[in-house]
Amino acid sequence: MTLFEKLRCLLTFGQGVALPLPELSANTTPEQLFEQWFTDAHKAGILLPEAMSVSSCSTDGQPSSRMVLLKSYDEQGFVFFTNYASRKSQELAENNKVALLFHWNVLQRQIRIEGTVEKVSEQESADYFHSRDRGSQVGAWASKQSQKLKYDNELKDKMKHFQEKFVQGDVPHPEFWGGWRVKPHAIEFWQGRANRLHERLCFEKQGKQWHNHKLNP
């Protein structure tokens, strides 16, 4: 890339195009690379770098996507929390195949993750639930996520009801609310480049081992 091209990228907030891919060793794991890119996204000042698209699919083959927030990740997978009665949870319970997407435009980077899901433990769900602010805890009780509202102020009325019900003491963790853990078997790191010569680094899990290769853009 020429100096002019680098300057143009910077002036158009495409500074990620000038970033090099890290050097990889035979022992490099996608979890390590995700950690590095996720940290870079935080340092870049991106608002909610933990925002990710979750795509599920119904039993009749209809896909659907929505944005959620990543709450934790490790070598076991990527965790988010939601209402277990929501559309996404119903679809994930019927079809455990799932895809995640992180997109950080300023860095010209995205990460695609494919895998399967499983519910986290009830204790893990309860611990996270009680770490949230009280308003969000009450809101989880008030909202029958993905169901039709019977009238315009139904949600406000239910919020008031549960605020009064739980006015004293801790808000109990509802059994219909908890976490999903995405266990990946394929992760692709996409780095934007000038002239659309983007770099795509893919990891695929075979047994317990990760293997990587590159793809044409």
Active-site annotation holder among 66, 181, 193, 196: 196
The Cα–Cα gap between 111 and 113 comes to 7
Query: Known catalytic residue: 196?
Result: yes
**Angle, alpha carbons 65-119-87 (nearest 5°):** 35
Residue 80: enclosing H or E segment and its boundaries?
Answer: strand 77-83
Among candidates 20, 16, 144, which has minimal Cα distance to 90? 144
Instruction: Locate all alpha helices (DSSP H) within the chain, ordered by sequence.
Output: 3-11, 30-43, 87-94, 122-129, 134-142, 154-165
For 145, the 3-state DSSP assignment is coil
Whether the Cβ atoms of residue 172 and residue 165 lie closer than 8 Å to each other? no
Q: Which residues are catalytic?
A: 196
